[in-house]
Structure 1
């Protein structure tokens, strides 16, 4: 269902590489990424299914670094760390991604991470089929699929030496971040029911990430509102001092980045009330 000439480019590339076993699957209607992935899954025959995004750039050894982890039969899924690139990469994206990557590696070393990256995500095909393929009613198909595999007792990991570059949008960066936040919120809201059944090592990780994405942003919002009301109505010096301290802390990069992420999550949570953004328009990168 592509209208930007992508199928034609793929056909030309296939013609130039006749020695490779390549198949182009064309859909008549855009129903979202997960529908396309499930369609492709029906044609897949290998033991490992690997997905990517058009805006990602792999190093030449990405596949070998990915596949080696599947030698361990307890590994069910593998993803990558991301490095943002592009002419308009913002400081907030670079710093956010740095801390985000550290968390993903730490969670992986503990057992599994509940957040995967579609720029490079690999899954055992038999496990994908066992869980019914990719979810089509929420946006985070990569993360939710990996989490479902981890809930079965397999590891879903991001190695610390597997890097992929991701092109950041030149325009509408804010809404790009909101859409991604929406999808993660949908994922964690859906996963709440499975926390108690999660493997012990994964349960704590899943509970913390769910809290950070679903509850923490609104605790910050409520606390800020209460402090402002207390300052204006009761003239509380304590409330005023806390607000002043918070304003001063915004000069510290780490705190400022964290605060911005909370704002993204709040806006994304509200936007999920009327639109899940399962299908979205192509962005200029």
Structure 2
């Protein structure tokens, strides 16, 4: 499928990391990218040929509606080739200690927000035979200690992706999920800061139970940030999923993701539990 400037692609969460790299890659491919950012300053930094920053907060219905209107009333009548649902946050804490408001925030941004954007853009995707690209995670395949809220949201997006694919592909819209492993992005630092903030309000008993888990999580997260693949590698896979004439239903990014997704399918859960404990030195 040849990329050209007569097609639009909407990408959420382009201020940094995978989203920013994806916007740049798709612009280089020749698409006109509507790059969703939450702050005008981020948009100014991202602005470039074929990249049009737009304010999109996936928890704000007005900005989502404005994005849909921008696409529906494109001055050049370009069709929507794809939406890349990339916006997300990482709330990391033991299940017992994560406040319910933090669980709600994780799901509001990383699940409900993705669904809201998809619902708003489905008419444009149907009109152009486009595709939905959801950014998942190995955390949506296996939940490590301390990653409960984040993994729960990513598991949910696996289900949303499967349901949507089975509902809508017969109408010409392809639905794909991308599963990265460790990727070098600033979400690692944000996740660690969130973990520290939530740990600061734990009770003494909770500290006794979970301090080792929190330390192990932080060490694992730092390893992801240090040894992960560049965000550009994820962007290349997303580009391939958009340009392929017959895309696969799911793609992995990095050897770690490929191995872990296979292990989850093949190994008994007790074996996986033991492996996770050893990997995190618990």
TM-score normalised by structure 2 residue count: 0.27
Q: Which entry has the higher C-alpha Rg, 1 or 2? A: 1
Q: TM-score, length-normalised on structure 1?
A: 0.26
Greater per-residue strand proportion? 2
Q: RCO greater where, 1 or 2, for CA within 8 Å and sep 6 or more?
A: 1
